[in-house]
Amino acid sequence: MRLRNIPGSRDVIAESEYVVREANATEGGKSLGDGWAVKGRWSEVFGNDHPIRIEIGMGKGQFLMELARRNPDINYVGIEKFSSVLLRAIQKEEVMELPNVRFIRMEAEYICDVFAAGEVDRIYLNFSDPWPKDKHAKRRLPSRQFLAKYDRILKKDGVVEFKTDNKELFEFALEEVPEAGWRIKACTFDLHSDAELCRDNIMTEYEEKFSSQGQPIYKYIIER
Ligand code: SAM
C-alpha cells in the first residue's frame, strides 16, 4: 500500500467516531482512564452482544466492510497499522455508515491489550506481509508467536482464516499450525477453484489484484 504519508490522516483518525482509541471508553460521561479501556467491554462499544470478528492488517477495508454489510448481526473490528491506509477505510465508512464496524490503528503485536480472553469469535488475516528474512519470521502474522496471542483472545471454538498469494508464506503458516498446538480445519492451494471454500468468498483488494494476474490464492481455516 503506497499511502503512508497523507497529511492530516492522523487528525482524521483522532476525531473519527468509527475509530476506537486508547482510553476511548467512557462511563457516565467520564473517561475510564488510560490504556485500552475497551478491553472486555466491546459489547458496550457496539451496544449489543453480537459476536466480534476482527481483521488484522485490514488495509483499506474492502473485505471487512463487505462482510459487515452482509452480516449485520456480527460486529467487525478492522486493525491497521498505517494511518494513511486506515484513512481510506474511514472514508468508506463515512459513506456506508455501517453500525457494526469499528477500526483501530495499531500494531498487531499489542492485540491482547485490546481484547479480553475469549472476546473474539473469528480472526481474518488477508495477504499479510511476508517478512521474507528468516530472522523476521516471528513478525509474520500467522507465526506461532502470533498464534499464541490469537489463542488468548479467541473464544474456545473460534477460528483463524488466512488467505495469501504468497506460497512461501503459506507453507510457513501451515508448518506453524501444529507447532502452536492448532489444527487445520480446511485448506486449499487454489481458493478460486475450490467450490466449497470459495462459496461466499469476499475478495480483498490484494486478492483482486493477484488473482486477476492469474495467481492462485491459498487459504486455510484453523482451530485449536
Ligand atoms: N488485507 C488487505 C488486502 O488483502 O487487500 C491488505 C493487505 S496489505 C499487503 C497488508 C496490510 O496489513 C497493510 O495495510 C499493512 O499496513 C497491514 N499490516 C501489516 N502488518 C501489520 C501489523 N503487524 N499490524 C497491523 N497492520 C499490519
Please give the average per-residue pLDDT across 191-197, as a whole number.
Answer: 97
Question: Bigger pLDDT: 32 or 128?
Answer: 128
Residue 43 cell numbers, joined: 459489547
152/134 Cα distance (integer angstroms): 25
Q: Which atom of ligand 1 is nearest to the CA of 55?
A: 1
Three-state SS string over 90-122 comes to HHHHHHHCCCCEEEEECCHHHHHHCCCCCCEEE
> Which of the following is catalytic: 11, 113, 129, 190?
129
What class does CATH assign to 3-17+32-223?
Answer: alpha beta
- Residue 31: what pLDDT? 62
Distance separating alpha carbons of residues 78 and 105, to the nearest angstrom:
9
Mark whether 129 is an active-site residue: yes
User: Among the atoms of ligand 1, which is closest to the Cα of residue 139?
Assistant: 23
* CA 4 – ligand 1 centroid, Å: 12
157-168 average pLDDT score? 98
Average pLDDT, the chain: 94
Which residue among 80, 85, 202, 217 has the greatest number of ligand 1 atoms within 8 angstroms of its CB, and so is best to mutate? Answer: 80
pLDDT at 101 over 60: yes
Q: Are 163 and 220 in contact (CB under 8 A)?
A: no
Reported confidence tier of residue 34, pLDDT bands at 50, 70, 90:
low
Please tell me the distance between residue 136's alpha carbon and the centre of ligand 1 in angstroms: 16
Q: Average of pLDDT values for 143-157?
A: 98
Mean pLDDT of 146-173: 98
Per-residue DSSP letter, 131: -
Read off the amino acid at residue 11.
D
Query: Which of 129, 162, 205, 215 should be mutated for ligand 1, with most atoms under 8 A from CB?
Result: 129
* Ligand 1 midpoint to CA 129 (Å): 6
| 165 CB near ligand 1 (under 6 Å) | no
Q: For residue 219, give every residue at least 6 positions away whose Cβ sits within 8 Å of its Cβ, in sequence order, or none.
A: 161, 162, 163, 164, 186, 187, 188, 191, 194, 197
61 C-beta closer than 6 A to ligand 1:
no
Instruction: Determine whether the shortest distance from the Cβ of 78 to ligand 1 is under 6 A.
Output: no
Asked if the model's pLDDT at residue 76 lies above 90, the reply is yes
